[in-house]
Amino acid sequence: MHRGQIHLRYLLIWLPFAYCTTTDLPMCEESDYHFEYTECDALQARWRVAVPNKADICTGLPNPVKGTQCTFSCSEGEFLDMQSQQCKKCAPGTFSLGTGVAFDEWDSLPSGFVTHGVTTNSRDDKTDCSNSTWITKGDYVASNTDECTATLSYAVSLKKPGTVTFEYFYPDNSIYFEFFIQNDQCQSTDSESRWMKISDSDFSKYTVELNSGNNVLYWRSTAYALQGSAVKPVQLRNIAISGVAYTSECFHCKPGTHSAKAGSARCAACPAGSFSNKGATVCHQCEQDKYAEPGSGSCKPRPACTNSDYFYTHTPCDSEGKTQLMYKWIEPKICNETFDGAVDLPASGEKQTCPPCNPGFFVTNSSTCEPCNKGFYSNGTACTECPVGTEPVEGLEYKWWNTMPSHMKSSIFDREFSDSEQSTAWEVAGEYVYTTPGDQDSDYLTLMLNVPGYRLPPSMTKDSERSELSRITFVFETRCTADCKLYFLAGYSRWNNEVVEQWKGSNGKQSYSYLIQSNSTTSFTWTFQRTEELNDERKYSSDSAKIFSIHITNVIGGVASQCRRCALNSASSADAGSADAGSADAGSADAGSACVPCPPGHYMVSGTGVCKSCPPNTFIRADHSVGEAACIQCGPNTQRNKAHTACLSDCTLDVKTGGGVLLHYDFSPLSNVTAFHSSPRFTSKGLRYFHSFNLALCGKEGRVPATCVDNVTESGREVKGYICHSTVVPSEIRSQSVVSTQPFIIGDSLIGVTTKTKVSRISSSKWLFPSASSLPDVIFYYKSSETTQACKEGRSATIRLRCNPTVTAEDHIMLPSNCSEGTCDGCSFNLLWESQHACPLCTKEHYRAIVSACTQGIQRTTYVWQQPLQCYGGESLPAQKVSACVSLDFWLKFGVSTGTIAAMLLISISCYFWKKTRKLQFKYSKLMMSSEGKECELPTADSCAIMEGDDAEDDLMDLTKKSFFTKIRSFSRERTSDGFDSVPLKSSSRYLRDDEDSDEA
């Protein structure tokens, strides 16, 4: 059964019962109840029922009656009178959208809207976000500015498809702002279409189609105030929803607006100098001594005029070529010069000669400035055709400000009175353009420059990869007594600009340059705000910003301030023997064809158009291709690419240590893009965030660069290079698990690869990452060409690779302990990457052999790494070797046997020679004894020698019967005093005894 039918039956059953039980209550009057329709049934029918405004205050409600068809609706300017169920026109002073509702008053949160705040990190229960909600501000509702998530929602039921339209001001990309819709099935809109575009200086209008049925609208914001700076809230106003079948009442015009006739679909704002109250039909003029801004609900007293109420400008050049300094009141004029102490408008100055036209323009007969024709150039006075062999350098250059250029427009945006009639925020002043006083000091004073696009010169088109697309350079200064700010924004439309750089307080005259890398970046905006304080008085009108010059290169439809010599083709350059010859050849080459660029690796000789080769291993600067200074030497251990536009590393390196050892490195496993997050950081409210780095260490031609994106805003801005940085916040409010914001490039060019701690003014101090290893770290040096106010020379980065064979993960990257964000000054970044792939390749020097003992005739040789191990990859350990051998017991036996034999042989030889010696001693003794009887005669040979054939018995000694050792002892004791040995012999002893016996006889 249909829900509407159940509701109706319930009412029919309940009403008689209520009537019977409340007979003591008074009868209901029309002011005590209102009518509503039941839900449509299957036949597209419904009933009108009376609903009491308060329960139990009266009785006798009208009976339900059949209502209009569900397809019924009212037109704009009409409302449905539920009493008669007919559409009627709204009365004067009110308005109606017919099939819609509108909300343009935000003194309090309108009925049906709900707002609440929750913590961004669902795991953090300590953060109190109950007060982080959308806050009504009268004309608009503002978002929160802290790290909580604030949601504003509104539920509406549509009888037919409709739309929701609202205006928003979204000036700060530190806030994530999304709008989405949930339908009956709780399905949300696509996450890609949720993103809101950044506003530059004014409210943006946004419209989304709605399906029939129930729709819940959500506006959700989360601030990421990570750097401690103030965040500007999102402002929301003028919400209108169409597709409802009807509106049962008309809305009163808000103060400052009116509707003069019945049936109005909207209210018109009161002009300046008038006001109106709520529901007004006409606007009332302010009194003579009072004023009112457009859309004011009341008038204010006029103050006395001061110097802050007028500005100065230059009149356009007249037919005589004269200009005049003039003073004008700021419109709308709110001051009164008749009051005591008021200042009068200064008199105009004398006529002076107009300044010259801007480069690329010429002065016409009417003293106006017109652009030169294509192929011509000028310095601001007259156009001159480019000579043969040259091409015009086209762009836009503004250095004289007699009138506002056609490409530029200034406007003022006031957060409180955004419909201000004042349209001039920047005014020309001859040598510069400056900011005029605004209605309030908190106004945004914007100067916008739009260009159609960019195109490289003909001679650089064929080599567009190495050529700079475009660059914008401007000279400015700020003079402030308050906390003023100057913003520079770039984007592809007025409604999608992002802040590139900002300057606070007073800044002396200086130049800023921004490299344009995309042909879609065609809008540039300078926005100046004196203070963020809301104050009706003009306290800081003297604070101002000045822009002296603006120069953009390679602009489509631009003008030329100079001509550049074309490069010759190979045939012409071969014949160019001198400067004059080169010019002549250039003319012939240019006569039949367009300019020809120099070949890769060549530069143009100044003033000749002749191409000359750069020295080996050098590349050509992208912003300069003339003169030998264009050739830049590649850094250590890098090689130039094929286009001669940059230096690359093939991820290999050879390093010779102090000991003469050559180390070979191969970083190819680390060449893929690697992401690294710092340890978590926390804001004052406990929001957790990380510093994210994407690295592309090295690689040859066609390598994949590291990319960092901004997925907070609709633009999805991304940066690419060797190293980029972004801030990552874990998020629970979107389909992605994290929010990435504030991306910027750290290194887009490789400077060198070496073990030295300083290359080209970029250093990587050892104290940042102390090491106890004797193996040197390999350091990659990078540089970014992107300059900022804080980093005037651009950012730089070093990645120190340290050998650690125990690290298996490839992304073991660390930041310096004393610079937890990777940088100590915001410009120089240092990272340490420990990996086994950062070790040198293993060689034979990194292992040694261990030989085992010979066991059972087998000997094994095993190879092991030298410790500590300081290599990876390269040569592998050789397999174990097995060889035959002779065991130790064999050699022991062999040695013992050999020793025994040798000892016996030695003893035998000793005995032999000992005996031989004894015989000689005996013969000598015998000879001596035979010579004793003949003192004066020498013994004859016959008596002194033992003749051959003598009896051997005579040679035996008396000691033959003694032991061997006894004989030796006696031999040693029988040495005479004269040094001769006395050896007793058998024969002599017997002879002596015979003599003694004969004497006795």
In this prediction, residue 360 carries a pLDDT of 92
Q: Is 659 or 502 the better-scoring residue by pLDDT?
A: 502
- pLDDT surpassing 90 at residue 980: no
In this prediction, residue 30 carries a pLDDT of 79
Distance CA 656, CA 662 (A): 4
Distance CA 177, CA 688 (A): 19
Give me the percent of the chain exceeding a pLDDT of 70.
Answer: 79
Tokens standing for residue 966: 């006894």
Distance CA 193, CA 200 (A): 20
Cβ–Cβ contacts within 10 Å for residue 473, how many?
14
- Band (965; pLDDT cuts 50, 70, 90): very low
Tokens standing for residue 478: 């700020």
Sign of CA dihedral 392, 397, 399, 401: positive
Distance CA 174, CA 130 (A): 21
Convert the pLDDT of each residue in 819-878 to its tens digit.
Answer: 878 888 889 999 999 998 999 999 888 888 888 888 777 888 899 988 888 888 888 888
In this prediction, residue 797 carries a pLDDT of 94
- Band (968; pLDDT cuts 50, 70, 90): very low
In this prediction, residue 648 carries a pLDDT of 92
CB burial string 500-535: b at 16+ within 10 A, e below: beebeeebeeeebebbbeeeebbbbbbbbbbbeeee
End-to-end Cα spacing for the chain: 184
> Which range has the worst mean pLDDT, 128-132, 522-526, 814-818?
128-132
In this prediction, residue 184 carries a pLDDT of 66
Distance CA 276, CA 197 (A): 34
Distance CA 254, CA 357 (A): 50
Tokens standing for residue 389: 């062999």
Q: Cβ distance 534 to 469 under 8 Å?
A: no
Helices (H), 527-662: 570-575, 579-592
3-state secondary structure of 258: strand
DSSP state of 307: G
Q: Is 731 or 332 the better-scoring residue by pLDDT?
A: 332
3-state secondary structure of 197: coil
Cβ–Cβ contacts within 10 Å for residue 489, how many?
23
Tokens standing for residue 896: 């013992």
In this prediction, residue 1000 carries a pLDDT of 47
Tokens standing for residue 258: 């009116």
Shortest CA distance to 124 belongs to which of 857, 703, 811, 729? 729
DSSP state of 946: -
- pLDDT surpassing 70 at residue 322: yes
- Band (993; pLDDT cuts 50, 70, 90): very low
In this prediction, residue 733 carries a pLDDT of 54
Distance CA 416, CA 538 (A): 15
In this prediction, residue 832 carries a pLDDT of 93
> Which range has the worst mean pLDDT, 132-141, 456-465, 663-672?
456-465
Cβ–Cβ contacts within 10 Å for residue 462, how many?
11
In this prediction, residue 760 carries a pLDDT of 86
Mean pLDDT for the stretch of residues 151-161? 85
Q: SS3 letters for 161-191?
A: CEEEEEEEECCCCCEEEEEEEECCCCCECCH
Convert the pLDDT of each residue in 659-694 to its tens digit.
Answer: 778 899 999 999 889 988 888 887 777 777 888 999
Shortest CA distance to 383 belongs to which of 564, 560, 565? 560
Q: Cβ distance 370 to 362 under 8 Å?
A: yes
In this prediction, residue 299 carries a pLDDT of 92
Shortest CA distance to 270 belongs to which of 261, 280, 286, 283? 283
Count of CA atoms in the C-beta half-sphere (13 A) of 798: 28
- pLDDT surpassing 70 at residue 463: no
Distance CA 597, CA 616 (A): 20
Count of CA atoms in the C-beta half-sphere (13 A) of 557: 7
Contacts 24+ apart (CB under 8 A), 282-287: 282/258, 283/258
Mean pLDDT for the stretch of residues 694-713? 86
Distance CA 170, CA 415 (A): 12
- pLDDT surpassing 50 at residue 491: yes
Peptide bond into 868 cis (omega under 30): yes
What is the arrangement of strands in the sheet containing 881-884, beginning at the earlier edge strand? 847-851, 858-865, 881-884
> Which range has the worst mean pLDDT, 139-143, 403-407, 710-714, 939-943?
939-943
Distance CA 931, CA 944 (A): 8
CA distances from 573 to 457, 578, 590, 591, 602 (A): 20, 10, 13, 15, 12
Number of residues assigned to the chain: 1001
pTM over 0.75: no
Q: Which amino acid is at 168?
A: Y
Find where tokens 């109840």 sit.
33
Mean pLDDT for the stretch of residues 623-643? 79
Degrees to nearest 5, angle at CA 63 with 61 and 66: 140
Convert the pLDDT of each residue in 64-75 to its tens digit.
Answer: 888 877 767 788
- Band (540; pLDDT cuts 50, 70, 90): confident
- pLDDT surpassing 80 at residue 782: yes
Count of CA atoms in the C-beta half-sphere (13 A) of 15: 15
In this prediction, residue 180 carries a pLDDT of 87
Convert the pLDDT of each residue in 82-118 to its tens digit.
Answer: 888 888 899 999 988 877 788 888 888 888 899 988 8
> Which range has the worst mean pLDDT, 102-106, 466-470, 944-948?
944-948
- Band (16; pLDDT cuts 50, 70, 90): very low
Distance CA 432, CA 404 (A): 11
Strands (E), 592-684: 602-604, 611-613, 618-620, 631-633, 639-640, 647-648, 652-656, 662-666, 674-677, 681-682
> Which range has the worst mean pLDDT, 77-86, 115-124, 532-541?
115-124
Helices (H), 541-578: 570-575
Number of separate helices (H) and strands (E) present in the chain: 8, 67
3-state secondary structure of 11: helix
> Residue 232 contacts by C-beta under 8 Å, 6 or more apart in sequence?
145, 171, 172, 175
740 beta partners: 728
- pLDDT surpassing 80 at residue 471: yes
Convert the pLDDT of each residue in 396-442 to its tens digit.
Answer: 999 999 888 888 988 887 644 444 445 678 998 889 999 988 777 88
Convert the pLDDT of each residue in 555-607 to its tens digit.
Answer: 988 899 888 777 654 434 333 333 333 333 333 333 334 566 677 778 777 65
- pLDDT surpassing 50 at residue 988: no
> Residue 947 contacts by C-beta under 8 Å, 6 or more apart in sequence?
none
Tokens standing for residue 247: 């509106």
Q: Supply the mean pLDDT for the chain.
A: 79
- pLDDT surpassing 50 at residue 21: no
Mean pLDDT for the stretch of residues 609-626? 74
In this prediction, residue 475 carries a pLDDT of 95
- Band (983; pLDDT cuts 50, 70, 90): very low
In this prediction, residue 959 carries a pLDDT of 43
**H or E stretch at 898:** helix 888-930
Peptide bond into 332 cis (omega under 30): yes
> Which range has the worst mean pLDDT, 111-115, 248-252, 474-478, 939-943?
939-943
CA distances from 263 to 90, 247, 952 (A): 5, 13, 174
Q: Which amino acid is at 143?
A: S
In this prediction, residue 912 carries a pLDDT of 86
- pLDDT surpassing 60 at residue 527: yes
- Band (719; pLDDT cuts 50, 70, 90): confident
Tokens standing for residue 555: 């602009």
- Band (226; pLDDT cuts 50, 70, 90): low
Task: Indicate the Cα dihedral angle 929, 934, 940, 942, nearest 10°.
Answer: -50
- pLDDT surpassing 60 at residue 57: yes
